[in-house]
Amino acid sequence: MMKDNEKLQSDVEEAIKWEPLLKAAEIGVIAQDGIVTLTGTVDSYAKKRGAEHAAKTVAGVLAVIEKIEVKFGSMDQQPDLQIATEILKVLKSNPEIPERSLQVKVEHGWVTIEGIVQWNTQKAAVQKSVEILSGIKNVANNIQVKSDTSDEVEKSAIENALIRNWAIDDKGIKVDVAGNRITLSGMVHSIFQKDEAERIAWNAPGVWNVHNELLIDYLIF
């Protein structure tokens, strides 16, 4: 049976409470036929991201609409110059990130990062490093992934990686390869599985783009 709206709302609220950074009163949750809407006001971008991640881990959630606002008190407000300086500092301190290939823009606390890296793990490392900084209201991670090799991605390598992952039912996933572009299609049972399958596909050498067309089965087993 499909999880009813009241039960799904309660489960998402409990998942949010479990996050160390968050207080239940900060986030409002509305559930309607598997679609969860998050509202409220928080004092850091890390909390905003944490609430969205918590909602996606709940069984029965098909989609998350995130309407959480980040607002700072007068003591927490940071000038754009200081935010940009801190971003450049954390990027430079992380050996995984080629900071010289990136461009950073900050406007009223809204951060945009552009550039080219060889691996999606580097793009993810940028996101992880930046989103915890103070004064940030939103992060647009527009970094492109382009590896040194232009050889076609090995389809079987991705399929085997999906089989090895305990969290994914690989029988519901189809992998198509066109040059350096991967398309994932089929059915999975949660947003977490959809995101995890995409993460695994990105790890394959030579991938420049992953088109995630996976659908989420609304049935709860």
Give residue 170's pLDDT.
Answer: 67
pLDDT digits (tens, 9 = 90+) for 112-147: 999 999 888 999 999 999 999 999 999 999 999 987
Q: pTM of this prediction?
A: 0.77
On whether the CB atoms of residues 58 and 12 are closer than 8 A, the answer is: yes
pLDDT digits (tens, 9 = 90+) for 98-111: 878 899 999 999 99
| Amino acid at site 30 | I
Burial-class residue 185 by CB neighbours within 10 Å (0-12, 13-18, 19+).
middle
| Amino acid at site 81 | L
On whether the CB atoms of residues 65 and 37 are closer than 8 A, the answer is: yes
Instruction: Please name every residue paired with 30 in a beta bridge, in sequence order, or none if there are none.
Output: 37
Other beta carbons within 10 angstroms of residue 184's beta carbon come to 21
Buried b (16+ CB within 10 A) or exposed e, 27-65: bbbebeebebbbebebebbbbbbbbbbbbbebebbbebe
Q: Cα separation of 111 and 20, whole Å?
A: 25
Considering Cα of 20, then 27, then 199, then 35, what sign does the dihedral take? positive
Give residue 80's pLDDT.
Answer: 95
